[in-house]
Amino acid sequence: MIILQKIIGLSVNLISFISPKASARIAIFLFTKPFKGHVTKDQSDFLATAFREEFFYKNTPIMSYRWLGQKDTVLLVHGWESNSSRWKNLILALKQQNFNIVALDAPAHGHSGGNRFNALLYAEFIQVVAQRFNPAVVIGHSVGGMSTIFSQNKYQNPFIKKIVLLGSPSEFKNILDRYTQVLGYNQRTTKQITSTIIARYGSSPEDFSTAKQLKNITSEGLIIHDKNDHVIPYEDAVLIKTHFKKSALITTEGFGHALRDHSINKHICEFLEN
């Protein structure tokens, strides 16, 4: 993997001497193209226990899954290179508590359509599903949590009373910086990446911040983050907590970025019941 990263970085850097715009397009393509997240046979068997319903955002299919219950609706939003089956253990725990459960697959993940992913597009997917099911609670893992905040900040859905963020990043700029450092992109490429993002989305990478977008959100929040998360640093959770007005931070140790453990599910269920 390290050798492949070096080869990719070197190739993109060489292209930058001819055309920085071309090198930036390639770098952004690689950054937004998931290579995992497709549904396996075992995962498909579990997802087959749900009612499936397909929606659309600008002609792109959004796959949703629903497990019926009598209590509030909980919307589950997975992260990068994953799909709705990652919630299996939490879904089983929520079913025991009789919650109505909805999950969706992200753009270019699972059974949803598209071939590119970004948090802003995911935020629109979330809104489409939220408008259909009116969830009282949204639970997002990793970039799914970031996209949840982007969506709620934009649309201010009054029915969303609680938000749970699991291992979620705060600053997109930091994610982008880690990506460019891992690939070893040169200054020509990194500068052009920023310029291309501004041209496409009308904002700089610094503007895409979970912490900044929390200022207008009144939902209650639960933040769970592991001190040994090597994907999203624990400092992101601290920054999010500072800006999330009505929130609590639970710090774990030993569960990494995935945060898959029965104790995590217990924390979430307790938060939903209170």
SS (H, E, C) 157-214: CCCCCEEEEECCCCEHHHHHHHHHHHHCCCHHHHHHHHHHHHHHHCCCHHHCEHHHHH
pLDDT exceeds cutoff 80 at 2:
no
pTM: 0.96
pLDDT tens for each residue of 225-271: 999 999 999 999 999 999 999 999 999 999 999 999 999 999 999 99
What are 191-213's pLDDT values in tens digits?
Answer: 999 999 999 999 999 999 999 99
* pLDDT the model gives residue 64: 98
**C-alpha span between 248 and 30 (Å, rounded):** 35
Residue ranges per structural domain of the chain: 53-170+218-274
Domain 53-170+218-274 has CATH 3.40.50.1820: yes
Instruction: Please give the average per-residue pLDDT across 161-186, as a whole number.
Output: 97
pLDDT value, residue 274: 87
pLDDT at res. 5: 85
Q: Tell me the pLDDT band of 219, cut-offs 50, 70 and 90.
A: very high
- Count CB-CB contacts under 10 A for residue 123: 21
DSSP summary character for residue 257: T
The most distant pair of C-alpha atoms in the chain lies apart, rounded to whole Å, by 61
